[in-house]
C-alpha cells in the first residue's frame, strides 16, 4: 500500500526548542521531584516518520507538567530521520541508515559497526539504562486498533493490564532482525524490577494516533505516581475504558526470500479461524496459520529479506 492511502492529518511539532535539553544530551530533558519515586522515561521518534509520540512529549513540555515524585526523563530519539520528514513522502523518514529499534543488543551497541542510528543509540544508551520504567511511543503502517506491546514476560503483561489502555495487549519476543529498545538490559530480564512498554498508537498520520499517545503517556505516568491524577485529568477521558485483552504472539514470520507476498490485503488483528489458512508466500513456500483462531499482528508493508512480515498470536483466556 502506498503512502497515498493514508493522508497526513498530523503536523510535525517544532522540537527545536528542546535541542539543547538539560541532561547533557541533545533532545533529552530530565526533571526531578523532591519526593522520592521511580525514574520514568518516555521516548518518541524512535522512527522519524512516527509523529504521535513527539506530539505527546511536546504537549507535556509545553503544559509544564513536572513529576510529583521521582524523576521524569523525556527523549526525542531519531531526530536525524525526523528532520527529513516530508508529508509528500512520509514513509521515507523512518530512518536514515537503519532501523533504530533493532540495535539494542550488547553485541550491536558495543560493536564496531557505524551508522547514524547507532551513533544516536549509543548516545542514548545511558539514558535508557538509567530508567526504572520506559514507555516507548510508536505508530503503525495500517489503520488498525492501537496495541500495547508488553514483551514476553509476566511483569510486562501485569503492568500493561494495570495501565489499562490500549485495550489490546500484545505479549511478544520482538524481531529476528534485532533487539528493540524496550527489551534492552533490565527491561528484558525477569529478575529485574525494571519494566518497559511499547505502545503502537494507530496509523502513523491519523489524528487518533496522537490522542492515543497522549492518553497512554498520561495513564503510565499516573500509574507510576510520576504525575498526579489531577494533573493528568484534563488529558484523560471521563468514561471508563473496556478491560484489556491479551494476545500472546507465538511466532514471527521472518522473510527468507526476496519475494514475499500476502494472500490477502491484511491490515492487522484479523482472526483466521481455521488452522492451515494461507497467509501468503515466501518465494515459492506457502505460509499458513499454525493453529485455529490465529491473530495477525502488524502485517508489514516493508517486505524485505530478514525482516518480520507478520506476527502470529492467539488470545489468552
Question: pLDDT by residue for the chain (317 residues), tens digit each?
Answer: 455 578 999 999 999 999 999 999 999 999 999 999 999 999 999 999 999 999 999 999 999 999 999 999 999 999 999 999 999 999 999 999 999 999 999 999 999 999 999 999 999 999 999 999 999 999 998 899 999 999 999 999 999 999 999 999 999 998 888 999 999 999 999 999 999 999 999 999 999 999 999 999 999 999 999 999 999 999 999 898 999 999 999 999 999 999 999 999 998 999 999 999 999 999 999 999 999 999 999 898 889 999 999 999 999 86
pTM metric for this prediction: 0.92
Q: Which helix (H) or strand (E) holds 261?
A: strand 260-262
Q: How far is CA 61 from CA 17, 32, 123, 190, in A?
A: 10, 14, 22, 33
The reply to whether omega before 61 is within 30° of 0 (cis) is no
Q: How far apart are CA 46 and CA 63, in angstroms?
A: 23
Q: How far apart are CA 264 and CA 183, in angstroms?
A: 31
Q: What φ, ψ does residue 253 adopt, rounded to 5°?
A: -85, 105
From 146, 157, 173, select the one nearest 53 (Cα to Cα).
146
Domains by residue range for the chain, with CATH: 3-243 (3.40.630.10), 247-315 (2.40.50.630)
Contacts (Cβ under 8 Å, ≥6 apart) of 186: 129, 192, 193, 194
Q: How far apart are CA 105 and CA 175, in angstroms?
A: 12
Q: How far apart are CA 128 and CA 316, in angstroms?
A: 31
Amino acid at each position: 500500500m502506498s503512502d497515498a492511502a493514508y493522508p497526513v492529518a498530523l503536523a510535525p511539532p517544532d522540537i527545536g526548542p528542546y535541542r539543547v535539553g538539560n541532561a547533557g544530551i541533545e533532545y533529552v530533558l530530565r526533571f526531578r521531584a523532591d519526593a522520592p519515586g521511580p525514574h520514568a522515561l518516555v521516548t518518541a521518534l524512535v522512527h522519524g516518520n512516527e509523529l504521535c509520540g513527539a506530539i505527546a512529549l511536546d504537549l507535556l513540555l509545553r503544559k509544564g507538567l513536572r513529576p510529583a515524585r521521582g524523576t521524569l526523563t523525556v527523549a526525542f530519539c531519531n531526530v536525524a530521520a525526523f528532520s527529513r520528514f516530508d508529508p509528500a513522502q512520509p514513509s521515507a523518514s523512518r530512518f536514515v541508515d537503519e532501523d533504530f529499534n533493532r540495535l539494542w543488543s550488547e553485541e550491536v551497541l558495543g560493536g564496531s559497526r557505524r551508522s547514524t542510528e547507532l551513533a544516536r543509540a549509543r548516545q542514548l544508551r545511558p539514558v535508557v539504562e538509567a530508567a526504572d520504567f520506559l514507555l516507548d511511543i510508536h505508530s503503525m503502517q495500517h489503520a488498525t486498533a492501537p496495541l500495547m506491546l508488553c514483551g514476553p514476560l509476566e511483569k510486562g503483561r501485569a503492568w500493561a493490564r494495570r495501565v489499562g489502555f490500549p485495550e489490546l495487549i500484545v505479549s511478544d519476543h520482538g524481531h529476528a532482525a534485532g533487539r528493540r529498545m524496550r527489551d534492552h538490559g533490565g527491561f528484558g530480564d525477569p529478575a529485574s524490577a525494571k519494566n518497559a512498554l511499547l505502545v503502537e498508537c494507530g496509523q502513523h498520520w491519523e489524528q487518533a494516533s496522537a490522542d492515543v499517545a497522549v492518553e497512554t503517556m498520561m495513564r503510565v505516568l499516573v500509574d507510576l505516581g510520576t504525575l498526579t491524577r489531577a494533573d493528568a485529568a484534563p488529558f484523560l477521558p471521563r468514561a471508563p475504558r473496556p478491560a484489556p485483552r491479551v494476545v500472546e504472539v507465538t511466532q514471527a514470520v521472518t522473510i527468507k526470500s526476496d519475494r514475499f507476498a500476502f494472500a490477502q490485503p491484511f491490515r492487522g488483528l484479523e482472526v483466521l479461524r481455521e488452522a492451515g489458512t494461507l497467509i501468503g508466500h515466501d518465494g515459492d513456500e506457502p505460509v499458513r496459520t499454525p493453529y485455529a483462531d490465529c491473530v495477525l499482528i502488524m502485517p508489514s508493508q516493508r517486505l524485505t529479506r530478514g525482516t518480520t512480515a507478520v506476527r502470529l498470536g492467539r488470545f489468552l483466556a
